[in-house]
Amino acid sequence: MFIKKSSLENLSLYKYSGVDLSLCANYILSPYFWEPLLKYVIPPTIAPNVITLIGGIFMFLAHFLFFFDSPTGQEDVSTFTVVMSGLLMFLYQTADNLDGKQARRTKNGSPLGELFDHGVDTFMMGIFALIIVTIFKFETRIQLILLIQLLAVFYMSHWEEYHTNTLILGYVFNPTELQLLTIFGLDIYVLYPQIINVSIFSITVKSYAMVCIILFCFIAVVFYVQSTVSHIHSTNQCSFISALYNGTPYAIFYVCACINVLLFPKHFLVEHFHLIVLLLTFLNAYVTQRLIVHRILKEPVQQYHTLLFLFVVFTINTILYALGLPSVIFNFSTFTMLLFAIAIDSTLIIEVIISFSTFLGIHVFRINVKE
């Protein structure tokens, strides 16, 4: 359905390529925390994918805390939820960095491991964005628009990697620093929750935060585009137009997501805030996962996706409502769209795991002993 047997042959050409320029990771966390943790605490019998999965569970727990504590995204989040979310985010970050080290330590690195790691990250980005926009209690429509922008930054990093064949984690646009900054912000919020409403030069900290998020997203996208353009010009791999065309599936998701958030009635956005966040997260995860699979299998980017077609139909229904024309009620259409997203993305994940593990002759959640 998703994986061509002929493409699996390209797994033999797989070679991971990544550059991590994080100052915190390279000079503090890795030598003084992650490496000792790996050496003295993590047994060599634990498969890297198990560590990845545990890290994902930490962030899903953080999502559940916010779901119950702030059902509309507008409630004051309890100190317990904020503290636990910061801790769970740190544990996720730790697991996200230990899995690769464990893979190299046990010589269990594989394209499935990389895909499993990035696949979990596609969901984590949605939860990460949810925590940020909920803490600042932006107006609901603004919360969701900012969430979409943060999701887009994550996709663009993989769009860049698809064309450069190297995952570049820079000094600034680096998940380690951004996660630590978020955790630091959560700590400040615990100590002084009113800080988001403090005015500096007659402008609230909340407003400054909104501008900073927008600027960060814009600069990050420009950075990824510039990096990709520089690479394709130096290698003549493809034209810039072709590179842009490869981003068409995501452009469709992005435009439709923004249209829906802008046209949904406010009461629906507030009452079904987490339902919409889940829908956007799963759709973003699916499109990003497909791009990652194409890169690892060295395939051209597939332009048509049934899930995106359904999302376009869903968006047309929203437009009909906004125009005062007959349309399907949002409760039913949104819940149905989410079920389709979960079903199709789950099918993709299961097929990838089975196809990759069978072809490579490896176990997913067990250490593979090299003969």
Digit-coded pLDDT (tens) for 313-367: 999 999 999 999 988 888 899 999 999 999 999 999 999 999 999 999 999 999 8
Coil/strand/helix, residue 264:
coil
Closest CA to 362 of 45, 113, 95, 1: 113
Digit-coded pLDDT (tens) for 6-63: 899 999 888 888 888 899 999 999 999 999 999 999 999 999 999 999 999 999 999 9
Whether 14 maps to a domain, the answer reads no
Q: Is 290:282 a contact under the CB 8 Å cutoff?
A: no
Q: If you average pLDDT over residues 263-272, what whole number do you get?
A: 95
Q: What pLDDT, on a 0 to 100 scale, did the predictor assign at position 371?
A: 56
Q: If you average pLDDT over residues 236-260, what whole number do you get?
A: 92
Give me the sign of the Cα torsion angle 21, 27, 33, 36. positive
Query: What's the domain count of the chain?
Result: 1
What is the band of 308 on the pLDDT scale with cuts at 50, 70, 90?
A: very high
Whether 147 maps to a domain, the answer reads yes
Give the C-alpha separation, 233 to 231, whole Å: 5
Domain that residue 217 falls in: 37-159+171-360
Q: What pLDDT, on a 0 to 100 scale, did the predictor assign at position 370?
A: 64
Digit-coded pLDDT (tens) for 219-234: 999 989 998 888 888 8
Whether 288 maps to a domain, the answer reads yes
Tokens of 371: 């003969």
pTM: 0.95
Whether 3 maps to a domain, the answer reads no
Q: Is 72:140 a contact under the CB 8 Å cutoff?
A: yes
Residue type, 141: R
Give the DSSP H or E segment for 19: strand 18-20
Whether 337 maps to a domain, the answer reads yes
Whether 68 maps to a domain, the answer reads yes
